[in-house]
Amino acid sequence: MLIRLNGVEYSVYNVTDKYEQLRAMQQAAYAQMDERVSTSDLSTDDSSGTQHSKFGDDDAQAKLDRAAEEFVAG
C-alpha cells in the first residue's frame, strides 16, 4: 500500500520507519531541553500562570513540528 504525502509516494513501511525516527528525535530533543532548562530557569506569567523559559524555548514545539514536516518531505 502506498501513501502520497506532499507529492511523494511512500510505502506504509517507509512512513512507519520515518515516524519512529521522528519520535526518537523528538524524545531526544525534549530530553536535551529538559537538561538545559531547570525550574529555576522559568518565570511565571502572572496573568495566565504559564511558565516561560527565559531561553526562548517557548516555540520549541513549533520548531520540532516544522523539522518533522521537512524530514518527512524528504
The pTM for the full model equals 0.36
68 versus 52: the higher-pLDDT residue is: 68
22-62 residue pLDDT tens: 889 998 888 877 776 655 555 555 555 555 555 555 567 77
Give the pLDDT mean for 2-13.
Answer: 78
pLDDT of the residue at 56? 54
Q: Is the pLDDT of residue 17 over 60?
A: yes
Q: Are 12 and 1 in contact (CB under 8 A)?
A: yes
Structure-block grid coordinates of residue 15: 512512513
Question: Whose grid coordinates read 513540528?
Answer: 65
